[in-house]
Amino acid sequence: MFQKLLRGVSFESGKLLPSARHCLAFFVAFLVILSALLAVPGSGAGRVTAFADTAPAPYSSRLELHVLEEDLGPLPRESLLGVFWVTPAPGWYAYAHDPGPTGMPTTLQAMLASEEEYLQVLYPPGIIKEDSLEPGVLVEAFVDSTPLFILLPDREDLVDEEVLHVHLRMLLCSDRSCWPIDMREEHSLDALFDQIASGEAEQPDQRAWMDVLPSSSPGATRTPFVRPGTPGTAQPAQAVPGEFAPERLEPVSFQPGLEVRGLGKALLLALLGGLILNLTPCVLPVVSLKLRGLIPDASAGDMEIQRKAFRDHNQLFALGILTFFMFLAFLLSFTGMVWGQLFQNPTTVIVLATLLLALSLSLFGVFNLPVIDLKMGRKGDSALSSEGQAYFTGMLATLLATPCSGPFLGGVLAWTLVQPPLVVAGVFFCVGLGMASPYFVVSFFPRLVRFLPRPGNWTLYLEKALGFLLLATCIYLLSFLSEEFLFPVLILFWVTGMASWIWGGWTNLSHSALRRWSIRAAALILVLAAGGWALTARPVSSEWELFTADLYMETLGRDRMLVEFTADWCPNCKFLEKTVLTPANLAPFQERYGLRLVKVDLTHDNPAGMALLRGLGSQSIPLVALFDLGDRAMQPLILRDLFTLGQLEQAMITAFQE
Q: Is the pLDDT of residue 205 over 90?
A: no
Nearest to 56 by CA among 85, 92, 107, 83: 92
Predicted confidence band of residue 173 (pLDDT cuts 50, 70, 90): confident
Model pLDDT for residues 346-383, shown as the tens digit of each residue:
787 888 889 889 888 888 888 876 545 555 444 444 44
Do 334 and 453 share a domain, yes or no? yes
- Greater confidence (406 vs 579) lies with 579
Report CA-CA distances (Å) from 40 to 27, 43, 353: 20, 6, 45
Q: Is the pLDDT of residue 131 over 60?
A: yes
Q: Is the pLDDT of residue 2 over 50?
A: no
**Hey, CA dihedral for 167, 170, 174, 178, is it positive or negative?**
positive
| C-alpha–C-alpha distance, residues 307 and 313, integer Å | 10
147, 82 contact by CB (below 8 A)? no
| C-alpha–C-alpha distance, residues 396 and 399, integer Å | 5
Amino acid at 147: P
Q: Is the pLDDT of residue 24 over 60?
A: no
Report CA-CA distances (Å) from 255 to 259, 260, 573, 639: 7, 11, 18, 7
Model pLDDT for residues 325-338, shown as the tens digit of each residue:
888 887 766 655 55
Region of poorest pLDDT, from 93-97, 119-123, 178-182, 489-493: 178-182
Do 189 and 102 share a domain, yes or no? yes
Q: Domain holding 615: CATH number?
A: 3.40.30.10
pLDDT at residue 472, rounded to an integer: 83
Q: Is the pLDDT of residue 609 over 60?
A: yes
- In the DSSP assignment, the letter for residue 297 is P
Last residue within a domain, chosen from 437, 458, 481: 481
Number of domains present in the structure of the chain = 3
309, 386 contact by CB (below 8 A)? yes
Backbone angles phi, psi at 60, to 5 degrees: -135, 160
Residue 506 lies in a domain: no
Residue 393 belongs to what domain range?
A: 258-481
| C-alpha–C-alpha distance, residues 66 and 597, integer Å | 50
pLDDT at residue 74, rounded to an integer: 73
Last residue within a domain, chosen from 436, 460, 481: 481
Q: Which residues contact 592 (CB under 8 A, 6 or more apart)?
A: none
Q: What is the mean pLDDT of the chain?
A: 75
| C-alpha–C-alpha distance, residues 523 and 151, integer Å | 72
Mean pLDDT of 11-28: 45
Residue 53 lies in a domain: no
Do 222 and 263 share a domain, yes or no? no
Q: Where are the beta strands (DSSP E) in 103-203?
A: 107-112, 121-123, 127-130, 138-142, 146-152, 163-173, 178-188
Q: Where are the beta strands (DSSP E) in 560-622?
A: 561-566, 596-601
- Greater confidence (123 vs 224) lies with 123
Residue 589 lies in a domain: yes
Do 273 and 221 share a domain, yes or no? no
pLDDT at residue 510, rounded to an integer: 82
Predicted confidence band of residue 217 (pLDDT cuts 50, 70, 90): confident
Do 176 and 264 share a domain, yes or no? no
Model pLDDT for residues 434-445, shown as the tens digit of each residue:
888 888 888 888
pLDDT at residue 239, rounded to an integer: 41
279: exposed, middle or buried (Cβ count in 10 Å: 0-12, 13-18, 19+):
exposed
Q: Which residues contact 581 (CB under 8 A, 6 or more apart)?
A: 542, 564, 624
Mean pLDDT of 146-151: 91
Do 269 and 186 share a domain, yes or no? no
pLDDT at residue 285, rounded to an integer: 58
Do 477 and 557 share a domain, yes or no? no
| C-alpha–C-alpha distance, residues 479 and 473, integer Å | 10
- Greater confidence (287 vs 130) lies with 130
| C-alpha–C-alpha distance, residues 244 and 241, integer Å | 9
- Greater confidence (94 vs 400) lies with 94
Do 346 and 472 share a domain, yes or no? yes
Nearest to 92 by CA among 179, 167, 168: 179
Mean pLDDT of 37-43: 41
Cα within 13 Å of Cα(612), Cβ side? 30
Residue 461 lies in a domain: yes
33, 45 contact by CB (below 8 A)? no
Mean pLDDT of 33-43: 44
Report CA-CA distances (Å) from 575 to 33, 37, 468, 570, 579: 33, 31, 31, 9, 6
| C-alpha–C-alpha distance, residues 81 and 100, integer Å | 27
Do 221 and 279 share a domain, yes or no? no
- Greater confidence (218 vs 398) lies with 218
Last residue within a domain, chosen from 430, 453, 481: 481
Read off the pTM.
Answer: 0.52
Do 336 and 388 share a domain, yes or no? yes
Sheet of 252-253, strands arranged across: 252-253, 637-640, 623-627, 561-566, 596-601, 545-546
Mean pLDDT of 391-404: 75
Q: Is the pLDDT of residue 316 over 70?
A: yes
Model pLDDT for residues 493-549, shown as the tens digit of each residue:
999 999 999 988 888 878 888 888 899 899 999 999 999 888 887 655 557 899 998
Do 318 and 203 share a domain, yes or no? no
Nearest to 429 by CA among 266, 271, 316: 271
636: exposed, middle or buried (Cβ count in 10 Å: 0-12, 13-18, 19+):
buried
Q: Which residues contact 117 (CB under 8 A, 6 or more apart)?
A: 111
Residue 48 lies in a domain: no
pLDDT at residue 284, rounded to an integer: 59
| C-alpha–C-alpha distance, residues 421 and 423, integer Å | 5
Mean pLDDT of 433-460: 78
Residue 34 lies in a domain: no
Nearest to 440 by CA among 119, 12, 24: 24
Do 122 and 216 share a domain, yes or no? yes
- In the DSSP assignment, the letter for residue 629 is B
Model pLDDT for residues 248-298, shown as the tens digit of each residue:
676 676 655 556 667 788 888 888 888 888 776 666 555 555 555 555 554
62, 71 contact by CB (below 8 A)? no
| C-alpha–C-alpha distance, residues 362 and 496, integer Å | 12
Q: Is the pLDDT of residue 489 over 60?
A: yes
Region of poorest pLDDT, from 108-117, 213-222, 378-387, 617-626: 378-387
Residue 486 lies in a domain: no
579, 340 contact by CB (below 8 A)? yes
Model pLDDT for residues 626-638, shown as the tens digit of each residue:
999 988 888 899 8
181, 131 contact by CB (below 8 A)? no
pLDDT at residue 502, rounded to an integer: 92
Q: Is the pLDDT of residue 232 over 60?
A: no
Highest mean pLDDT among 22-31, 218-227, 331-340, 419-428: 419-428
Residue 229, SS3 per DSSP? coil
Mean pLDDT of 615-619: 77
Cα within 13 Å of Cα(403), Cβ side? 27
Q: Which residues contact 533 (CB under 8 A, 6 or more apart)?
A: 488, 491, 492
Residue 508 lies in a domain: no
How far the first Cα of the chain sits from its last, in Å, is 62
